[in-house]
């Protein structure tokens, strides 16, 4: 089955700097890669996703890139703000199978 | 719409006790899932359902049962609670469209097994 590895497990950045979180997946049949954000004490929420027919997708300060050959995808957050502090989860699926989540990255944005 | 609701929010059990975690959604989603979240372990799938009357096991199903008699409800049963089941449990519902799936999570149930 699918296995998703996520790095780093913790990340601290200064406010205004960029943050990058990386994930690798094992199943070449996976074609859907969402990212979820979980604020402290809250439920995870989808922030951006990408399908395998696209190499990059942006939404304001957030972008996701996908390298199908290397089987890895990354979340990029630019101009980080204190409200970006949260745990971020990547996930992968074949589109008709359950999502498999990475173990999460705790991002701290230091003002 | 209330979205995905879960009850209770917090529960303390003694080892060996049984209980049911309730989950309901009002978005008419066909897919529903139960996850447990433990520190450093991410979100691990316990059981999932692709429609009423259909359930399947996820990554960590042992010690848990589910049923899906209606589209709206997806209860999770702990048969004989163990300290290893201390965790935060999230229910989620989703709709798959063109290979894309957005999971809508409930607020979670924090379970402590003594």
- In this predicted structure, what is the pLDDT of residue A96? 79
Contact A43 B40 (CB under 8 A): no
> In this structure, what token pair is assigned to residue A24?
């690798």
Alpha carbons A78 and B44: distance in angstroms, whole number? 29
- In this predicted structure, what is the pLDDT of residue A1? 86
Label the pairing between strands A45-51 and A32-38: antiparallel
User: Do you know the residue count of chain A?
Assistant: 111
Q: pLDDT tens, A69-105?
A: 999 999 999 999 999 999 999 999 987 789 999 999 9
Residue pair B87/B76 in contact (Cβ under 8 Å)? The answer is no
Q: pLDDT tens, B2-12?
A: 899 999 999 99
Contact A43 B106 (CB under 8 A): yes
Chain B residues with CB under 8 Å of a chain A CB are 33, 35, 40-45, 48, 58-59, 90, 96, 99-103, 105-108
Which residues sit opposite B77 in a β-bridge?
Answer: B20, B65
The confidence band for B98, taking pLDDT boundaries of 50, 70 and 90, is confident
Nearest to A103 among B42, B59, B108 (CB): B42
Q: How many CA atoms lie within 13 A of B30 on its CB side?
A: 9
**Helix, strand, or coil (residue A66):** strand
> Average model confidence (pLDDT) for chain B?
95
Percent of chain B surpassing pLDDT 90: 88
Q: pLDDT tens, A22-56?
A: 999 999 999 999 999 999 999 999 999 999 888 99
- In this predicted structure, what is the pLDDT of residue A95? 78
């Amino acid at each position: 089955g699918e296995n998703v590895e996520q790095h780093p497990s913790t990340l601290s950045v200064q406010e205004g700097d960029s943050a990058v979180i990386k994930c690798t997946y094992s199943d070449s049949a996976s074609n859907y890669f969402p990212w979820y954000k979980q604020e402290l004490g809250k439920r995870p929420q989808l922030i951006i996703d990408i399908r395998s027919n696209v190499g990059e997708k942006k939404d304001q300060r957030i972008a996701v890139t996908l390298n199908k050959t290397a089987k890895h995808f990354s979340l990029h957050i630019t101009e980080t703000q204190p409200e970006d502090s949260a745990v971020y989860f990547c996930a992968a699926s074949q589109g008709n199978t359950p999502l498999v989540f990475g173990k999460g990255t705790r991002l701290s944005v230091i003002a | 719409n209330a979205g995905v609701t879960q009850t209770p929010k917090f529960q303390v059990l003694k080892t060996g006790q049984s209980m049911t975690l309730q989950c309901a959604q009002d978005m008419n989603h066909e897919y529903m899932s139960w996850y447990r979240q433990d520190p450093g372990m991410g979100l691990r799938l316990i059981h999932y359902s692709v429609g009423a009357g259909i359930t399947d096991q996820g990554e960590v199903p042992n010690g848990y049962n589910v049923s899906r008699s209606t589209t709206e409800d997806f209860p999770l049963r702990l048969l004989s609670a163990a300290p290893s089941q201390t965790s935060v449990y999230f229910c989620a519902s989703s709709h798959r469209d063109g290979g894309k799936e957005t999971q809508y999570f409930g607020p979670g149930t924090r379970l402590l097994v003594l």
